[in-house]
Amino acid sequence: MKRILWTLSGAIAAAGMAAAIVITLNVQGEAPLPAGDTLQSTSDLVRRGEYLARVGNCMACHTPQGGAPYGGGRGIETPFGVVHSSNLTPDTTHGIGTWTSAEFWRALHHGRSKDGRLLYPAFPYPNYTQVTREDSDAIFAYLQSLPAVAEPNRAHALRFPYNTQAAVAVWRALFFVPGAPQPDAAQTAEYNRGAYLVNGLGHCTACHTPRNALGATTDAKAFTGGLIPVQNWYAPALNAAHEAGVKAWRAEDVMALLQTGVAPQGSVLGPMAEVVFRSTQYLSDADARAMAVYLQALPQQPPAERAPPPAPPAAAMARGAKVYEQQCAQCHGGEGQGESGAFPPLAGNRAVMLADPTNLVRVVLQGGYLPATAGNPRPHGMPPFQQVLSDDDIAAVTTFVRNQWGNRAPAVGTIEVYRARERRGL
């Protein structure tokens, strides 16, 4: 028994030493912080910081529903528990009123808080590490100009061992390397600006890249599409023509999608509607075009060689046709043609035919609402049908629209409707 206890104690001690080493390694490469703050804030710097904070969509996570802007406390669900966003106002007790610009930049660049604590990567510092010090200082100047909000920060509710600094240190040792913008000398300044916005402040890969079991992304799979676990939406691939690739679009149409939520080829729904509403509608024309140029230049995935899906069950198609006629045809048309400027066509719609039907099912369940933007202030919307249609009806009508008017995609079963309602985790 003593031998077992000694062995167990030794293992625990070794694990503790390993964790300490990992934490120490996580600090390496960080320059010492200056003793004081030398940032000189100006009105121009504050205005620039406000714009950059919108580009980074900071308010979305740091403002709870009905709460003060940037007051923190919004619960961000993850497969490992809930992370609560922090107060970013200049309150000296609960916010960042005592922070220096260098400490703020360290949070973005190194993922470390004022007190040295490692931050959870629900805060997308794996992307924000690309943000320049100049842009970080501008955002900090803007946040310091906001009214102070005396809102205490809420404790995270993460499961063990994910709630430990040792676990974060291990994650960082495996998946995080502080970086900096790396302009491509072979590309234009416009392309490089787009790359900076998409990969850094815009953190597009945070959703449009699949994550492993520990919630990390890899550059090798960047933009190839991924399930947003707890929100339960599929962020389609940005480098595939059959999903959400825009290589063949006009740059002006990509800009329209980012700035208004609507383009001739499609519109945004779900989490992306919030991104457009809170963030990308405020892009300058120059930055929107730069992002379009970069997204259109992404190396494309080769078309997947898949056998044609089996023909959908005749009973499901018949039932779906009836539901469609009763509930959908008035807006989307008898031939799925939609109505220009109001209701999207379903015939030939790649969002309808995604291999993963989650988004289509969720739109039927919860409705589809475009963002209200300056360029599209009164968008049309689609009401929810979760209280009107059964799971069998939803499976049938989604199967119908995925296999009618020349569309071809796997049938949807009731189990997939259930998963669209309930799926959580990775």
pLDDT recorded at residue 12: 40
Indicate the SS3 state at residue 192.
helix
Number of domains making up the chain: 3
pLDDT recorded at residue 92: 96
Contact predicate 209/221, CB 8 Å: yes
- pTM value surpassing 0.85: yes
Q: Which residues contact 153 (CB under 8 A, 6 or more apart)?
A: 72, 73, 84, 86, 87, 94
pLDDT recorded at residue 48: 98
Q: Is 16 domain-assigned? A: no
> What's the pLDDT band for 4 if we cut at 50, 70, 90?
very low
C-alpha–C-alpha distance, residues 210 and 381, integer Å: 29
The position carrying tokens 């369940």 is: 365
Residues 200, 260 within the same domain: yes
Residue 217 pLDDT > 60, yes or no?
yes
pLDDT recorded at residue 1: 43
pLDDT recorded at residue 341: 81
164-186 mean pLDDT: 95
Domain boundaries, position 350:
314-422
- What length is written for the chain? 426
Summarize pLDDT for 277-321 with one digit per residue, the tens.
Answer: 999 999 999 999 999 999 999 999 887 777 889 999 999 999 999
pLDDT recorded at residue 397: 98
Residues 338, 281 within the same domain: no
Hey, what long-range contacts does 41-46 have (CB within 8 A, 24 or more apart)?
Answer: 41/141, 41/144, 41/145, 42/141, 45/137, 45/138, 45/141, 45/142, 46/138, 46/141, 46/142, 46/145
Please indicate whether residue 54 or residue 232 has the higher confidence score (pLDDT): 54
Residue 362: CATH number of its domain: 1.10.760.10
Q: Is 95 domain-assigned? A: yes
Residue 382: in which H helix or E strand, if any?
strand 381-382
> What's the pLDDT band for 39 if we cut at 50, 70, 90?
confident
> What's the pLDDT band for 7 if we cut at 50, 70, 90?
very low
Residues 97, 215 within the same domain: no
pLDDT recorded at residue 26: 56
Q: Is 1 domain-assigned? A: no
Q: Is 220 domain-assigned? A: yes
> What's the pLDDT band for 22 if we cut at 50, 70, 90?
low
